[in-house]
Amino acid sequence: MSDAPLMITISGLRGLIGKTLTPTVAAQYGQAVGMWFKSQMKKPTIVVGRDSRPSGLMIQNAFVSGLSAVGCKVIILGIATTPGVGLMIGRLHADGGVVITASHNPIQWNGIKVLTSQGIAPSPKKAQQIIDLFHQNQPEYVPVTKIKPVETDSTLTKIHARTILRHIDVDIIRRRRIKVVLDSVHGAGGPETLVLLKELGVELIHLYAKPTGHFPHGAEPTKEHLTELATEVKKHKAAIGFAQDPDADRLAIVDNKGNYIGEEYTLALCAKHLFAENPKAKKIAVTNLSSSRILDDVAAKYGGKVYRSAVGEANVAKRMQKENALLGGEGNGGIIWPKIGYVRNSLVGIALILEMLAKQDKSLSKIASTIPSYAIVKDKVDIKPGMADTIEPALRSVFGDAIFDTQDGVRVDWKDCWVHVRPSNTEPILRLIAEAPDNAACEKLIAKCVQAMGL
């Protein structure tokens, strides 16, 4: 995607460093974000963190110059996880936050993600307001006497861990002395997660812990990128292997036998644990349209209910708040636990699953085997202008007898399978995801979609 355009969507801004994302673009986006915050309150304070990418400091400095130029007060956190930035907004009594990150994208990418005062991404309506301000490019600069000095804060690493530890059974995990292999992919998650795991007393083998930003393998925590993690789990006879993405909002899991369980099981396992541990609470979970139905199966065992939203944590978080959900998240390994915040958080997933292992005193492979398994096939194609408008009529022409959900692209449901086709919010691609009893059925569904749309 060497000619990929600058992506400015409800999920923030992403681009290729030195091509579509330059210091000039970052400063312009900083001005737009700053003006949007000033339209919400008179004197906004914004916390800013970045993942470990080599381009991060450059983009951060340019972006912060834009915020300062329009009169925002800025507190810089340094290298920080996305959920950590969300947490620090409240701790520092700030009005919002920004993370310089491109999540799982390769090293040549970077991006800018905005969080509101609640620590969540802006709603689509508010995100569009920021986009409009960016394109208008008419910043309202403040006089030099009103430019606020930039401050720094270095307390995130300890605060993040301590906040999570208050809500789990630390003692039982310490007593079990669980052996863990963690792959932090040289991302932002290493330092914060290390503090958490030290407090939990695990025996840790930490792969790629330093936040250098030079990813040793593909940054997305998928099966093909985690063969080394699986090997290390078997080599050290560990109870579990965890893999984070560069900004540590996603978590994938390898079981005690070295098998990649995958991102979809992260949310299902956390739901299984929290439903069991909270017998008097309403068993409500929220996920997006592209996530596996294994969450529905888990909820059904506990008399619970699953609500689905459009893809994107802002949409999931909004539905969670509406339904007063016990937890939520996405099938990409993103766990949202309201006790900590409404941002996907790999540290939360790690803590909850370790607590589950300690309390059940069973191997992860045995626990996971109690959750039904489905095949999921994910595909993507480069998107072309106008393609998004053809999805629904094309799919209705071949799947007219099924159940359609059009709140985010098109999801088509049957009794034992589903397919979801939607434009990505973060890349110039069209995503096609199918779930069915086996791979062949998934591939057949995707092939029908591709043929119907003339791809």
Instruction: Report, as residue numbers or ranges, the catalytic residues.
Output: 103
Pairing of strands 334-336, 327-330: antiparallel
CA distance linking residue 178 with residue 167, whole number of Å: 19
For the chain, the three-class secondary structure string (H helix, E strand, C coil) is CCCCCCEEECCEEEEEECCCECHHHHHHHHHHHHHHHHHHCCCCEEEEEECCCCCHHHHHHHHHHHHHHCCCEEEEEEECCHHHHHHHHHHCCCCEEEEECCCCCCCCEEEEEEECCCCCCCCHHHHHHHHHHHHHCCCCCCCHHHCCCCEECCCHHHHHHHHHHCCCCHHHHHHHCCEEEEECCCCCHHHHHHHHHHHCCCEEEEECCCCCCCCCCCCCCCHHHCHHHHHHHHHHCCCEEEEECCCCCCEEEECCCCCECCCHHHHHHHHHHHHHHCCCCCCEEEEECCCCCHHHHHHHHCCCEEEEECCCHHHHHHHHHHHCCCEEEECCCEEECCCCCCCCCHHHHHHHHHHHHHHHCCCHHHHHCCCCCCEEEEEEEECCCCHHHHHHHHHHHHHCCCEEECCCCEEEECCCCEEEEEECCCCCEEEEEEEECCHHHHHHHHHHHHHHHCC
Tokens of 310: 């459009």
Output the six-digit token pair for 96: 């919002």
Cα(314)–Cα(124) distance, rounded to whole angstroms?
A: 8
The residue assigned the tokens 């400095």 is 61
Whole-number Å distance between alpha carbons of 251 and 346:
5
Cβ contact 87:159 at 8 Å: yes
Q: What whole-number distance in Å separates Cα of residue 306 and Cα of residue 286?
A: 6
